[in-house]
Amino acid sequence: MDFGNRHVVITGGTGALGGAVVGGLLAAGATCHVPFLHEAEAEHFPYRADPKVKLIAAGDLADEAVVTRLYAGVSSPWASIHLAGGFAGGNVADTGKQDLMRQLDGNFVSCFLCCCAAVNAMAANGGRIVNVAARAALEWRTGAGMAAYAASKAAVAAMTAALAEEVAPKNILVNAVVPSIMDTPANRKAMPKANFDAWPKVEEVAATILFLASSDNKVTRGALVPVYGRS
């Protein structure tokens, strides 16, 4: 896959999966635009010194003005990859509106606004958009104990399929990957007795994202691609 002379926006690019995606894109020749919320994210980002990495102190991506400024600073983006988000568990009975809105803003609203800005930025030349849902977004009963998170990711899945139909005539192909629990240091720490070998590795999930974001992907749109590994 060749991303030479391509500009790519990667939200959540400083995270575990984001680092794998950015690393793959750089190896393929891309210029990577990586927004961050906290300075510590940028300080510890392994690719911060790469001349093809543009770290951007953007702010909250659930803020429409922040997203507008972010995409205004990217010249003709070829792809927009939306990894930003967060997980919070909790039974419905224990989840208040503030907790619900935090999940919706972080996982769905930010993705929706970035999709909107990306479509407008790509309108003349086409491009690729890749979102990230979650297994609980497709298998609803697995969302027990984390219903707010599952609902926010289900919204991402539904929006991905709908948007793909809207923008296909503009040569913008929209898809989402749907991970199960990925093998990250944070997840290992949270579930120390799990079978880590069964979890998909971030590099493996990143490889699927890179294909969907590439010009090699000529026909796949509206797909919600499970990346479960053996879990």
Task: Report the alpha-carbon distance of residue 226 to residue 208 in Å, rounded.
Answer: 10
Q: Binning pLDDT at 50, 70 and 90, where does residue 209 land? A: very high
Q: Binning pLDDT at 50, 70 and 90, where does residue 100 land? A: very high
Distance of CA 198 to the CA centre of its chain: 22
Nearest one of 184, 187, 229 to 202, comparing CA atoms: 184
Q: Binning pLDDT at 50, 70 and 90, where does residue 149 land? A: very high
Task: Report the alpha-carbon distance of residue 26 to residue 47 in Å, rounded.
Answer: 9
CB neighbourhood size of 24 (10 A): 19
Q: Are 77 and 127 in contact (CB under 8 A)?
A: yes
Q: Are 211 and 181 in contact (CB under 8 A)?
A: no
Q: Where are the domains of the chain?
A: 7-227
Q: Which fold has domain 7-227?
A: Rossmann fold (3.40.50)
Task: Report the alpha-carbon distance of residue 230 to residue 195 in Å, rounded.
Answer: 10
Nearest one of 8, 34, 64, 61 to 209, comparing CA atoms: 8
* pLDDT of 231: 84
Task: Report the alpha-carbon distance of residue 90 to residue 96 in Å, rounded.
Answer: 10
Task: Spell out where the chain has E strands.
Answer: 7-11, 31-36, 53-57, 77-82, 127-132, 172-179, 224-227
| pLDDT for residue 19 is more than 90 | yes
How much is the average pLDDT of 178-207? Answer: 94
**In the chain, % of residues over pLDDT 70:** 100
Number of H-type helices and E-type strands within the chain: 9, 7
How much is the average pLDDT of 201-225? Answer: 97
Mean pLDDT in the chain? 96
* pLDDT of 1: 87
